[in-house]
Amino acid sequence: MKMTTGLATPFVITKLQGEQRLEEADLVAVEEPLQIRLEFEKGDNFITKDLLVTMRSPGHDFDLAMGFLFAEQVIHREKDVLWIRYCQQVKEEEKGNVIIVRLAQDLDFDMNLLERNFYTHSSCGVCGKTAISAVSGHLDLVNNNLQQEIKAKTLMALPKFLSCNQYGFKYTGGLHAAVLFDAQGTLLALREDVGRHNALDKLVGASLKKGIDLENKVVLLSGRVSFEMVQKAVRAKIPVLAAFGAPTHLSVSLAREKGITMVGFLKKDRFNIYSHPSRIK
């Protein structure tokens, strides 16, 4: 796990451009989970409630907390919040990732709103390291079941397949895609959705229905690669995850830990390898 500062952190990656294969440092966007701890009074009771909201880029966290609570109908105006501060009773590496929100004493809201769509965390501290450890226990390493190495030129040819076959995006410009290929670059399945996560879920679901073994396949994503996308790939035992966009630092860390080869910034003549480059020839 890398120490992070600001919005970017360095990784040593393998860059392929034409026939050149270079090892160099690269800056990757920081991704960290933000936990909100609510404090409020209900009758004579003082209640605390821990919520893990989202994986985010650090910065403007108080705005994020206010907007989230407003969207979930917990608050309705600014004065419904007495104050917001960062929790200090955490480990050094976890500081800045936990927010305490004290709600106004007379605020009336439905407690059931706090029970849906949230992942509760048992401690006040949370960081990228704990996010990875939270999924490591129930996710196995991805085995290298590819029958042969994937050629770099095969990966570079994948974008043209997507441009020719992503019909939803072609007509709307508003859909993400997840595409399944074999090691020779043959297109096996494609799914589109307005959400990146949904597109990958659809692709995995379709593969399960068709009895397609994902352990020796390549998945191409139309957008960036976040922590949750790698988590889904590990769960499906997909060994190679390629994307047009950039990965986040947590996605790189999880891919390296779990044995996934991650490719980013995939173009017709170059790409970056962020983890396990040995699968690519």
Q: Which residues are catalytic?
A: 124
Question: Could you give the strand order of the β-sheet that contains 20-29, starting from the edge strand earlier in sequence?
Answer: 20-29, 8-17, 270-275, 261-264, 240-243, 218-221, 176-181, 187-193
Strands 218-221 and 240-243: parallel
Q: Could you tell me the two tokens for 268?
A: 């017709």
Using DSSP bridges, classify how beta strands 20-29 and 32-42 pair: parallel, antiparallel or unpaired: unpaired
Q: 218 exposed, middle or buried (CB, 10 Å; 0-12, 13-18, 19+)?
A: buried
**CA gap 217, 76 in Å, rounded:** 48
Residue whose C-alpha is closest to residue 58's, from 10, 6, 4:
6
Concatenated DSSP letters of 138-188:
T-PPPP---SSPBPHHHHHHHHHHHHHH-HHHHHHS--EEEEEE-TT--EE
